[in-house]
Structure 1
């Protein structure tokens, strides 16, 4: 499937989105050839076409709502539409993973909904990632225990409107969103000074969760868990499964929620307590973002197709495919992981909730069987897990390693060999 991600299709998707002239959130919604409405209808039609090849596995919905006007960002009440391609999980449909890009665009004036705003890199490139994954998963009739959502959202440039509505809808339905990724500005590898890293992609991952209570934050700090939030564990997971020869990419995990002065569609998920992260190209050229199309002193401004590195975007799509497929194919991230701190000892006892439903599928030949659990650990100054201990189908294990000297985690292992992200343990109470 990684090999089938098609450069020509990616280029065609980006070119088609650029052809709508402007995709400003408040641009025309009824013109068949110009404006965000035409882009919405084209993306939805393409996704519906993919669904026809999926054997009923892929379902496409257009999620719409009216966004009230926001002074300085959105002049009038506006319909916002998200296109959601859902690959339903077979045994754990409520466990959800999201990959999204935003199909709206803008130029220099955030309120200018008339003039051209090509939005090739920001963010037709991210939409192309979601669409290619939907196409290929459909053609292969992919079956995974958990649900995958491949999404094109709108209203990002004016205030993350589409992704906020999507995240809140999932929260309201009690979905167990275990990771949400946005691909925003993933179409170029060259900066304004000519610096190029065609085989690197940045992944921004928040540290201390914004949803932590004051007491939880204080406890996390007291035990040295600032670098072990659920989102940081997602960053480690992506680096493990997607930095390799299969993707021909290295994931640069950046320890912050986003770049300075910027925001993205992962943030609404973070605010609701879901792990969210942002993929963005390694170097940015700000002459090609949020700019009117124009030439000044022989410098071309504007987010034009000519500045998009299609092979780079293809490799970013591979990173996303390796990530979301691995997550949805593995058991869920262990819950309620604790470490015993009741007595002074040089051993460490960890406990967690046993996934009895997944364990019941073991040996049946079906999808979603649980093989057991692993305790992972690393030195406190190491960024990634460096040691693994297989402890089997249990909910408690004691290891001969002092909790004072290392950082622990617990991850689940499927019968298919897929591993979940790790969970950091808090002291038991």
Structure 2
């Protein structure tokens, strides 16, 4: 079994000089169950619907987005049968009218949703994973031609179905939400619909992992192959109410520490802990250059949300009519997917969701003492409201570091470190007996 040893700086305070972070055997079990044959079967079924264009048929039993929606719903319901009623499955529907952009007729928009409710009725936290069900060809308004959408975004939906199969057996205290959005290619319509619902209903949604294209290894044009890196896109400055937060962000130098950026760091640590031969690469953008994805409406509503995407994009197999030109095959077809790479990226999602769902809630009232200037840093915090804990991790990183560099374990609710606030950022996590860490919390000024 792989373990991660977190080395520490030499600090003259009383705690162990190093802390060994073990893999949680339950999470190891879930990750080991990700199966390439299952993933291939999911993709082949999705491709066989011909097109999954948002404005394709919703009544044909074999072709179009309606048939695909019903199939995903059935898969979720099949897994729900063994959960004792804890797994809720439904389609969120809305008829949208022509918008003069990418919707030219009244359209039944539907998100397929599965909620694996937590076992603790007092724990209202939710952790979400998503992908988009709809597909397209070169003309975004073409609803008739075959649009297989194997990688874009059959891979995201296939990952959802595989995650539902595996995690439906769990008994997490918190809830996991799995969503296959519609309308992504027509303007993020399904994700906007659900983000509005989550905001208006006060969902305690603490993280969204949006998966969009996670199975291609070969870049077009440059022909580079990459099967060992997965990109995670995250914003640094919070788009939501930035005008109200900008002064404090600038004052404390937190331009690189928005909630979504902290989630990305969390994904990197946990993903690399459980998945071998894979590096999580943090990309300091909300999404790809001048483009967007289904996490964006959630970011705009103030939720912590990121996008997971393969390292290389192949534009010959993305948003293309199926054709062959000059010996080159175009089209988003299954034969251009790398299912071993796909398996690793699905495993990252499962490991992160499980670690989050098993974790205690965040430490409360995290403070940094600033009443007098010293070269020490004094931190204090209060116990989380939910979950049993064994202690806390104090996180440290230099101001120019992209990830947390040190994890210092303590059972106390305060710590004094001989490191200057000028040179380091600090944060606190709660941790339980099985080693599952909470969301990261930055200190407020005391």
1:408 aligns with 426
Q: CA deviation at 1:335?
A: 4.9
Q: Once the two structures are superposed, what CA deviation does each residue of 1:233-288 show, in whole Å capped at 9, x if it has no partner?
A: 11111111111463432111111111013211111110111111101111011111
- Asked if structure 1 preserves the Cα contact closer than 8 Å seen for 2:54 and 2:109, the reply is yes
Contact 1:247 1:319 in 2 (8 A): no
How big is each residue's C-alpha offset from its partner over 1:205-258, in whole Å with a ceiling of 9 and x where there is no partner? Answer: 111000143242222122211111111111111111111463432111111111
CA distance in 2, matches of 1:216, 1:97: 25
Shift of 1:14: 0.8
Q: TM-score, normalised on structure 2?
A: 0.89
Give the total of aligned pairs: 415
Deviation at 1:413, TM superposition (A): 1.0
Structure 1 residue corresponding to 2:229, chosen from 192, 197, 200: 200
Structure 1 CA distance, aligned partners of 2:123 and 2:113? 15
More off after superposition, 35-44 vs 169-178? 169-178
Matches for 1:76-225 after TM superposition, within 5 Å: 76-91=105-120, 92-138=122-168, 141-192=169-220, 193-225=222-254
Give the Cα–Cα distance (whole angstroms) in 2 for the partners of residues 426 and 245 of structure 1. 32
Which moved further from structure 2: 1-10 or 117-126? 1-10
1:70 is the counterpart of 2:99 = yes
Question: In the alignment, is the contact (CA less than 8 A) between 1:229 and 1:424 conserved in 2?
Answer: no
> Helix, strand or coil for the counterpart of 1:59?
strand
Q: Report Cα offsets for 1:126-148 as digits up to 9, x if no partner.
A: 0010110100112xx21112111
Query: Hey, what's the Cα distance between the residues in 2 that align with 1:129 and 1:376?
Result: 31
Residue ranges of structure 2 left out of the alignment (5+ in a row): 1-29
Partner of 2:26: none
Deviates further, 22-31 or 397-406 = 397-406
For the pair 1:10 / 2:39, whether they are aligned, the reply is yes
Q: TM-score, normalised by structure 1?
A: 0.93
Aligned partners of 2:323 and 2:180: how far apart in 1? 28
Moved more, 157-166 or 52-61: 52-61
Whole-Å separation in 1 of the counterparts to 2:190 and 2:366:
33
User: How far did residue 376 of structure 1 move?
Assistant: 1.1
For the pair 1:57 / 2:102, whether they are aligned, the reply is: no
SS of equivalent residue, structure 1 residue 327: helix
> Distance in 2 between the 1:410 and 1:247 partners?
27
1:364 is matched with which residue? none
Secondary structure, counterpart of 1:159 in structure 2: coil
| CA pair 93-38 structure 1, distance change in 2 beyond 3 A | farther
Greater shift, 255-264 or 91-100, is seen at 91-100
CA distance in 1, matches of 2:395, 2:109: 43
CA contact (8 A) 1:167 1:268 kept: yes
> Is structure 2 residue 34 aligned with structure 1 residue 34?
no
Mapped to 1, the partners of 2:301 and 2:232 lie a distance apart of: 20
Check 1:164–1:93 CA distance in 2 against 1; reply closer, same or farther (3 A cut).
farther
RMSD (CA atoms): 1.7
Instruction: From 329, 333, 346, give the equivalent of 1:317.
Output: 346
* Cα distance in 1 between the residues matched to 2:279 and 2:374: 40
Structure 1: unaligned runs, 5 residues or longer: 359-367
What is the DSSP-based 3-state SS (H/G/I as helix, E as strand, rest coil) of the residue aligned with 1:220?
A: helix
**Deviation of 1:341 (Å):** 2.3
